[in-house]
Amino acid sequence: MERIEKTSGGWRIKGGDLLLDIEKRTGDVRCITISGDKKFVWTPAKCGVSIFDDLTGRRYTEKHLKSIRFAVKGDILSIQKIFKDAPFILSEEYNAEDREIRWTASLKMEKGEFRSCSIVYSIPWPQPAFGNSLWAAKDNMPSDLYRFGGFAFEYGEITSGILIPALCVWRREAKAGLLLAMPFDFKTPRFRFVGGYREPSLDVRYDWLTLSEKKAAQASLILRASSGGWRPSLGYLYERFKEYFTPRSRTIHNLWGGHISGSYNLSQKDAEIMAALGLKWYEIHGHFPFYGNYHPEGLKKWRSGHMRNSSYITVDIIKRTIKRLHSVGAAALPYIQVSGDGDDKLPEEVVKNSRIKDIYGETVSAWPGTHLLNSDPSLPFGKDMVRQIKGMMERYPEIDGVFLDQACYNFLDTAHSDGITAVNNRPAYMTGFNYFPHLELLSKLLHPDKVIIGNGPFGIGIMKYIDGFMAESQGWLCDHLQYYALEKPMFFLEYNKNDRAVEEMFQNCLIYGAGFTSYPSVYKHSKDLYDLYLPLLQRLYRRRWVFEEEPIALPPGFKGNLFISERGTLIASMAGKMDRYPKRKMLPETICINSKRVKKIEKVVLYRPGEKPERVKFSVKDNTLQFDIPGDTIAGVAELF
């Protein structure tokens, strides 16, 4: 069939294996069908687009339509909706492409008062709801819909939300699914998937939108059929938006391994100890006089704005630390923020008109002795940030890049306007937009020969500029942030230097193929753990994800993943996350690898801490390779050659 065909009741749109039937009377989707080996009616119930007008408190749906017009041009179906007693017009487009359908909406108002509004795309769940599984880029995924009485997966919330604006829902028995994703380059203030097990529909919400005579409110969504569950859909997003998953830096892959957050005044002895613990890069922290001023000018010496009662800092001390790091083969990355914390002692001319205010009109603090600042380049603090970035690069040409802290800040700021955000019918600003101009500048100055490593980036949008990232302190953050690491390195910073914490750190790093922490104080009591685990982790350096359906099945109590190594081999990581009673005989445990590549495998080698590499027997049936590991296995990697 053609991508867009007229039917008796409206239009049928085809993008890949996805069919949408558009109703002529309302312009809404009246049926979603997933084609493939068999056709599956995703829902015979109607999808709907609704508008929430915050100024009048009214909701507009197909029930309020006054008139509707359609036009078809090539592979695009355009719909114009006029609502009764509404000052705005809704224009929608369905763009049918080879592998997806892209929906866009624009709400325009020629005459009327400024207001905030929402655009909502509602899609009924397939029934019975019990059979729906879902994945979003957050911890404890994938999951089943029945686990959620209600949810709001909010993009851009680092600890509680989702880090990629996408949701994949699928039904195992039907082998059919639906991927919904906002394009990564589409900027909107607040994007959420809202639903629950008892809710009839999933709402895709675009909230806090500005609508005025000069500014239209807009929305954009990709819809795609998904067979094989969530991993193939993640693989599609990886290929579709590859510039967000692929580092701009040519040197980032030299930094897989150990790191720490350390002082500006590093001794040669500590540098050598950390090198023995696998150190590859070092965050130079506390080198600045104040949060919000990372490049002091006009000072010969200053004290740290982070470390209390510190000794004086000079440019020469920082350069000496850089030199000592280079002497042991480690990269030096000075600390910087480009949005956020501003010390209360910063000069007024720097912070004037730049303080963030919350929904109650109060200033906001996220760190002791500081308040949050808006670094839009038009504001005094934003202009000073440009000075700091350029000045730091000029003063320290020998650095290997920068460590971008607080890449997680994405606050609602009611004291400023970004042009697209509005709350309670007043202009506002989402401070996550602060990062884009400053990261663009950093990228221009550093890439491709140097690196930008960020701490907990709040969303995939800014990952376009960030080459690697840190999961700080909490092991669950590795689970949460891992979907940035399809190709880029993730580094787990473990502050706890207890011996048990060090081993747990290594096991987390094995599970997620992540870098580790190399604090010198653990050398005396835990150096042996580094000797045991580093040979395994080194086999995972520069790994990439596998996007086939359920590529690895691990025994109960184990966690891990299947990667493609830098050598082009399949490599499975595993770590036992439960304790076993030690006096019992441990029976072998079975691992299954599901991949089209297994038919070419000639040998499987198991690497375990403290053990010699062991070639293990395996069997292959169809696309599944199966092998056993010893019952006393604590952790390991298995490489398939």
| pLDDT tens digit sequence for 131-145 | 999 999 999 999 999
Report how far residue 134's alpha carbon sits from residue 128's, in angstroms, rounded to the nearest whole number. Answer: 14
468 contacts 482 by C-beta, under 8 angstroms: no
Considering the domain delimited by 45-240, tell me its CATH architecture: Distorted Sandwich (2.70)
DSSP character at residue 37: S
pLDDT of residue 578: 84
Residue 295: both structure tokens together: 């490049």
pLDDT of residue 44: 83
570 contacts 603 by C-beta, under 8 angstroms: no
Of 428, 489, 424, 421, the C-alpha closest to 453 is 489
Report how far residue 366's alpha carbon sits from residue 620's, in angstroms, rounded to the nearest whole number. Answer: 54
DSSP character at residue 546: -
Question: Where does the pLDDT of residue 581 fall: very low under 50, low under 70, confident under 90, or very high at 90 and above?
Answer: confident
Reported as type and span, the H/E element at residue 380 is helix 380-395
Least confident of 148-157, 215-224, 581-590: 581-590
Residue extent(s) of CATH 2.70.98.60 domains in the chain: 45-240
Reported as type and span, the H/E element at residue 227 is none
Q: Strand 151-154 and strand 618-621: pairing?
A: unpaired
* 3-state secondary structure at position 214: coil
| CA atoms within a 13 Å half-sphere pointing along the CA-CB vector of 50 | 18
List of residues 6+ apart from 407 with CB closer than 8 A: 435, 454, 455, 456, 457, 458, 462, 466, 469
Question: Where are the alpha helices (H) located in 192-305, listed in sequence order?
Answer: 230-240, 268-276
Mean pLDDT of the chain: 97
Gyration radius of the chain's alpha carbons? 27
pLDDT of residue 115: 99
Tokens 């955000």 sit at which residue? 421
pLDDT of residue 579: 84
Report how far residue 129's alpha carbon sits from residue 217's, in angstroms, rounded to the nearest whole number. Answer: 33
Of 469, 479, 548, the C-alpha closest to 235 is 548
Residue 460, exposed/middle/buried by CB under 10 A (0-12, 13-18, 19+)? buried
Q: Does domain 252-493 have CATH number 3.30.365.10?
A: no
For 480-523, write each residue's pLDDT tens digit: 999 999 999 999 999 999 999 999 999 999 999 999 999 999 99
Report, as an integer, the average pLDDT of 416-439.
99
Beta partners for 423? 426
**Got the DSSP string for 426-466?**
EEEEEGGGGHHHHHHHHHHHHTTTSEEEEES-S-GGGGGT-
**HEC sequence for 601-620:** CCCEEEECCCCCCEEECEEE
**HEC sequence for 104-155:** EEEEEECCCCCEEEEEEEEEECCCCHHHEEEECCCCCCCEEHHHCCCEEEEE
For 16-36, write each residue's pLDDT tens digit: 999 999 999 999 999 999 987
pLDDT of residue 150: 96
Of 300, 261, 304, 307, the C-alpha closest to 284 is 261
Report how far residue 408's alpha carbon sits from residue 395's, in angstroms, rounded to the nearest whole number. Answer: 27
For 296-306, write each residue's pLDDT tens digit: 999 999 999 99
Of 277, 200, 434, 246, the C-alpha closest to 340 is 434
Of 7, 52, 49, the C-alpha closest to 27 is 49
pLDDT of residue 580: 85
Report how far residue 375's alpha carbon sits from residue 505's, in angstroms, rounded to the nearest whole number. Answer: 35
Q: What is the pTM of this model?
A: 0.97
Report how far residue 553's alpha carbon sits from residue 513's, in angstroms, rounded to the nearest whole number. Answer: 17
Predicted confidence (pLDDT) at residue 37 exceeds the cutoff of 80 = no
Question: Where does the pLDDT of residue 43 fall: very low under 50, low under 70, confident under 90, or very high at 90 and above?
Answer: confident
Of 423, 575, 439, 594, the C-alpha closest to 505 is 575
DSSP character at residue 600: G
Of 470, 331, 424, 485, the C-alpha closest to 55 is 424
pLDDT of residue 617: 98
Report how far residue 270's alpha carbon sits from residue 614's, in angstroms, rounded to the nearest whole number. Answer: 36
Q: Strand 201-211 and strand 115-124: pairing?
A: antiparallel
Question: Where does the pLDDT of residue 583 fall: very low under 50, low under 70, confident under 90, or very high at 90 and above?
Answer: confident
Residue 69, exposed/middle/buried by CB under 10 A (0-12, 13-18, 19+)? exposed
Tokens 């090198």 sit at which residue? 275
Report how far residue 301's alpha carbon sits from residue 318's, in angstroms, rounded to the nearest whole number. Answer: 11
Report, as an integer, the average pLDDT of 386-399.
99
Report how far residue 533's alpha carbon sits from residue 105's, in angstroms, rounded to the nearest whole number. Answer: 52
**Cis peptide bond prior to 448, omega within 30° of 0:** yes
Predicted confidence (pLDDT) at residue 361 exceeds the cutoff of 80 = yes
Of 413, 353, 343, the C-alpha closest to 383 is 353
Angle in degrees, CA 140, 141, 145, rounded to 5: 105
Residue extent(s) of CATH 3.20.20.80 domains in the chain: 252-493
- What kind of fold does domain 545-640 have according to CATH? Immunoglobulin-like (2.60.40)
Report how far residue 445's alpha carbon sits from residue 303's, in angstroms, rounded to the nearest whole number. Answer: 28
Beta partners for 469? 454, 490
Question: Where does the pLDDT of residue 64 fall: very low under 50, low under 70, confident under 90, or very high at 90 and above?
Answer: very high
Tokens 């595993």 sit at which residue? 574
Give the distance from CA 111 to its chain's centroid.
39
Residue extent(s) of CATH 2.60.40.1180 domains in the chain: 545-640
Residue 138: both structure tokens together: 């957050």
Q: Strand 48-53 and strand 115-124: pairing?
A: antiparallel
Angle in degrees, CA 135, 139, 143, rounded to 5: 35
Give backbone dihedrals phi and psi of 261, rounded to 5 degrees, phi first.
Answer: -100, 110
pLDDT of residue 397: 99
Beta partners for 72? 77
Cβ atoms within 10 Å of 415's Cβ, excluding its own? 17
12 contacts 19 by C-beta, under 8 angstroms: yes
